[in-house]
Structure formats: C-alpha cells, structure tokens
C-alpha cells in the first residue's frame, strides 16, 4: 500500500485555474466517491478550499495514476492542469498533510480555518465510505499534531488580517467590546468585514450609513444592524465608540473640529476611528486629541506585517514540532508492520506450550486448582522470556523499515504472519488442499 497526495494550491496554480477545480461543500461526497472508483484506489479524501484542491489516497501500487483525476472530473485538458500539480508519496505525503492541517502551508501562516476545512473533508469521506484502516489513524494523528502546534507555539497568537488587527486594537482601547457601538460609514468590503469581526467580539449595536440608504440598509440587515441617512453622519458618529470610515470621498470627512465636538458630547469617553479609505476619510490631526485614536490602512497593515513576522518566527518551532510528529507517526506505522509476525510467533509458542502440557498431563496426575495455576504461570513465564528477544528483533526491523529482515526472521522461525495465511493457503498444491478438506 502507498499513500499518495496530489494537488494544486496558491503557490502552484493561478486563481483562474483553482476556480475551475474548486469543489463545493455539497459536492464533496460525490467527488470523493468518484475518486474512490479510480482503479487501484482503496481509500481516499479530497480537500477543497479557495487556496487549494488536494487528493489524498491509499493506492495498491506506487504508480497508480491519480494525476489526471482532477482534469477528468472537471472535463479539463490534462495538459492545462498537469504543470501546476504537485505529488507526494508516503512519508512526504504525511508530512505535507500534517503541515497543511497545522496551517504551515497556508497563504497566512497560523490561520485557523484550514483545520476545520480538513475536518470537513474527512467527514465527507467518512460519509462516502472511503476511509478505513489507513486514512482513519493518519487523519486523527494529523488533527492532533495541528492542535499541538497551535497550543505549544504562537503561530496563531497574533492577528494578521487588516480586519482582525483593527478588532485587536479596539479591544486594547476599550477592554471588553461588550455593549460598544460601531458606526460603519460607507459600503466598502473591508469596512463590512471589520464590522462583522467586531460583531463576533460582542459589540451590541451596529449603525450603517452610505450615500445610498438602500445599500446601507442591505448591509445593516446582513450584520444585524440598523441604517441611518447620510445626513445624520455627524450626529450619529458622536454616539459611536468605534467609527469605521470606508467611503470614496476625495477629502477627509472627519476633521479635528468634529473630534472636539464628539469628545464634548461623549464627556471625553474615548473614540476609535478605523480609516480604511484611500484617500483618507479621517484627518490625522484627530490623533492629537486626548481620547481619540486614529488608525489608517497603512497603520493597520504595518501592525499586521509585524504580527506576520512574529508568526514566521513561531513557525520555525511549529515546523520542528510537526516534523517530530510525522516521524513518530511513521515509526508507529512501521512497528505495526511487525504485528502479524509477532502474533504468529506468539500463537506458535502457545501451541507448543499447550502441546507439551498435554503431553505431560498423565505424568503430573491430578492437580489441584492452585497447582494448575502454578504450572500455567510457570510455563507462560518461560515462554514470554524466550519470546522477548525474537519480538524485540522483529520490532527493531520494523522500526528501521527492514521488511527483508522481518521475512528472514519469519522463515528462520517457520512462522506465517496472519495477513499472509490466506496467500499461503492459496499457494498450496491442489493435492494438499484436497487433503485438507474434511
């Protein structure tokens, strides 16, 4: 069995191609079943996000073709997709999966969404019946490794998007955002996103204004707020703790004189202006007023960049942690490969022990229950001591990936691992099989 992973992501393919390969959440089960129908695929899963589409599969042979699945499924020319594909096998595939789940392969290192998206892909594969004994433990270990990376390093500690940075700054200014009022001025996408982030953090009231009242009402409805006409701009702004300015006005709409009036009305309670517009909507002079804090788009991006640098430093520790988790998983998988031989060895030893006890049963005579328990304990103890070295040798061979050594030891001890018993039965001559029948 071989683990293979193929895909495209934001590093290898332009968005125009990723759009053509994107699989919606509702279509994921169907696509996974189609992948499972590919000859040679025994287990599989598909991860599809705005930044990547990846196929993870357990295949019968290393050369089982997976590279053309995406082009076939979407009816695209394979020559269009192939140059953008990457492929990993076995340990490299495991390493890529662990890094992806831990967001180390994301456009923004430390972002939390990817782990949830991989879990959704896993759930879809489970629902499609395409995961079993190979992918199940692999994905569980990937989730555990990703959680460990986030809890033991700081890759997710600092916000890196402009919107999330603005929310963090607001929290530092006001402490809790519970009960705060936000005034969104303009209908820009970034302004709306920032308002959504603030709502998620507990602000109680969102007011929206725009040159077109209908558009303001539409945005307000989607974020649970209320709309006011643009004519009430300055009256409403004085009520707000946080003002998000995102209009296309060619000059500042909030000047120092406005700030002074706001502070008097608010009895010097602080205000936070988030200026997302270019040209700026808020005169930088407001920053000179005690109690008013102004951050423009450059300020926010500089803070985000500093946080990104901090995450990059933390990512070094996270990479080391993930590498260690990958090695642990692979070593555990290699040790599992010795399990059938160990079981067969233990079974053979037990058969010999029982046969010898039966052989000497007559000589021992009638034994009490206590004497029988003593004989059992004595013989089992001897067998376990004799098996210690052979089992250790099998485990060592497995840990180093030396399958030839395992086979050699099995031949030396005349044991047939459990998973090979059916093949051994099939390999018998027709005469032997006939003799074996009752």
Q: Where are the domains of the chain?
A: 2-152, 162-304, 337-436
- The structure tokens listed for 142 are 């990937």
Determine which one of 44, 50, 399, 410 is catalytic.
50
pLDDT of residue 82: 94
Note if 410 is an active site residue: no
- Please name which of 158, 52, 168 lies closest in space to residue 110, comparing C-alpha atoms: 158
- Strands 242-245, 226-227: parallel, antiparallel or unpaired by DSSP? unpaired
pLDDT of residue 399: 67
pLDDT of residue 78: 93
Is CATH 3.30.1330.180 the right assignment for the domain spanning 162-304?
A: no
Whether this model's pTM surpasses 0.95: no
2-152 CATH: 3.30.460.30
Q: SS3 for the chain, per residue?
A: CEEEEEEEECCCCCHHHHHHHCCCHHHHHHHHHHHHCCCCEEEEEEEECCCEEEEEEEECCCCCCCCCHHHHHHCCCHHHHHHHCEEEEHHHHHHHHHHHHCCCCCCCCCCCHHHHHHHHHHHHHHHHCCCCCCHHHHHHHHHHHHHHHHHHCCCCCCCCCHHHHHHHHHHHHHCCCCCCEEEEECCCHHHHHHHHHHHHCCCCEEEEECCCHHHHHHHHHHCCCEECCHHHHHHHHCCCCEEEECCCCCCCCECHHHHHHHHHHCCCCCEEEEECCCCCCECHHHHHCCCEEEEEHHHHHHHHHHHHHHHHHHHHHHHHHHHHHHHHHHHHHHHHCCHHHHHHHHHHHHHHHHHHHHHHHHHHCCCCHHHHHHHHHHHHHHHHHHHHHHHHHHHHHHHCCCHHHHHHHHHHHCCCCHHHHHHHHHHCCHHHHHHHCC
pLDDT tens digits, the chain, 438 residues: what are they? Answer: 789 999 999 999 988 899 889 898 889 999 999 999 999 999 999 999 878 999 999 998 888 888 889 999 999 999 999 999 999 999 999 999 999 999 999 877 888 789 999 999 999 999 999 999 889 999 999 999 999 999 999 888 766 777 888 888 999 999 899 999 999 999 888 889 899 989 988 898 999 999 999 999 999 999 999 999 999 999 999 999 999 999 989 899 999 999 999 999 999 899 999 999 888 999 999 999 999 999 998 888 788 778 778 888 889 999 999 999 998 888 777 666 677 888 888 888 888 888 888 888 778 778 888 888 888 889 888 988 988 888 888 777 776 666 777 778 788 888 887 654 443 343 333 333 433 333
Cis omega (within 30 of 0) for bond into 279 = yes
**Contact yes or no for 41/57 (Cβ under 8 A):** yes
pLDDT of residue 433: 40
- The structure tokens listed for 99 are 């890094």
**Contact yes or no for 39/106 (Cβ under 8 A):** no
- Phi, psi for residue 244 in degrees, rounded to 5: -105, 115
Cα 238 from Cα 197, distance rounded (Å): 22
**Contact yes or no for 139/43 (Cβ under 8 A):** no
Cα 122 from Cα 136, distance rounded (Å): 9
pLDDT of residue 339: 75
């Amino acid at each position: 069995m071989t683990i293979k992973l193929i895909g495209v992501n934001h590093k290898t393919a332009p968005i125009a191609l990723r759009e053509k390969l994107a699989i919606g959440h509702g279509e994921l089960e169907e696509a996974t079943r189609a992948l499972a129908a590919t000859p040679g695929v025994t287990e599989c899963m598909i991860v599809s996000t705005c930044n990547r589409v990846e196929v993870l599969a357990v295949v019968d042979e290393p050369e089982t073709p997976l590279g053309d699945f995406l082009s076939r499924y979407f009816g695209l020319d394979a020559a269009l997709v192939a140059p953008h594909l990457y492929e990993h096998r076995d340990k490299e595939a495991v390493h890529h999966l662990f890094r992806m789940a831990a967001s180390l392969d994301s456009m923004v290192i430390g972002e939390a969404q990817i782990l949830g998206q991989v879990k959704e892909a896993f759930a879809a594969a489970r629902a499609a019946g395409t995961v079993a004994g190979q992918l199940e433990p692999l994905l569980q270990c990937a989730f555990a490794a990703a959680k460990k990376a986030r809890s033991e390093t700081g890759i997710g500690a600092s916000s890196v998007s402009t919107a999330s940075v603005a929310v963090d700054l607001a929290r530092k200014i006001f402490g809790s955002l519970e009960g705060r009022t936000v005034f969104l001025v303009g209908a820009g996408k970034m302004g709306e996103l920032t308002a959504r982030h603030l709502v998620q953090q507990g602000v109680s009231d969102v007011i929206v204004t725009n040159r077109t009242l209908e558009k303001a009402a539409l945005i307000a409805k989607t974020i649970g707020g209320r709309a006011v006409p643009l004519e009430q701009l300055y009256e409403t702004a004085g009520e707000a703790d946080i003002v998000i300015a995102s209009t296309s006005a060619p000059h500042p709409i909030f000047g120092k004189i406005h700030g002074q009036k706001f502070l008097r009305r608010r009895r010097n309670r602080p205000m936070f202006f988030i200026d997302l517009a270019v040209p700026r909507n808020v005169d930088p002079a407001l920053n000179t007023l005690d109690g008013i804090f102004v951050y423009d788009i450059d300020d926010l991006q500089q803070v985000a960049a500093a946080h990104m640098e901090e995450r990059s430093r933390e990512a070094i520790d996270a990479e080391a942690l993930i590498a260690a988790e990958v090695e642990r998983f692979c070593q555990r998988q290699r040790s599992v490969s010795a399990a059938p031989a160990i079981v067969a060895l233990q079974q053979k030893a037990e058969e010999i022990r029982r046969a010898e006890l039966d052989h000497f049963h007559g000589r021992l005579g009638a034994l009490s229950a206590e004497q029988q328990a003593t004989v059992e304990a004595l013989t089992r103890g001897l067998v376990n001591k004799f098996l210690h070295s052979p089992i250790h040798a099998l485990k060592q061979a497995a840990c180093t990936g030396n399958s030839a050594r395992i086979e050699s030891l099995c031949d030396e001890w005349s044991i047939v691992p459990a998973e090979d018993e059916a093949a051994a039965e099939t390999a018998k001559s027709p005469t032997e099989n006939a003799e074996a029948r009752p």
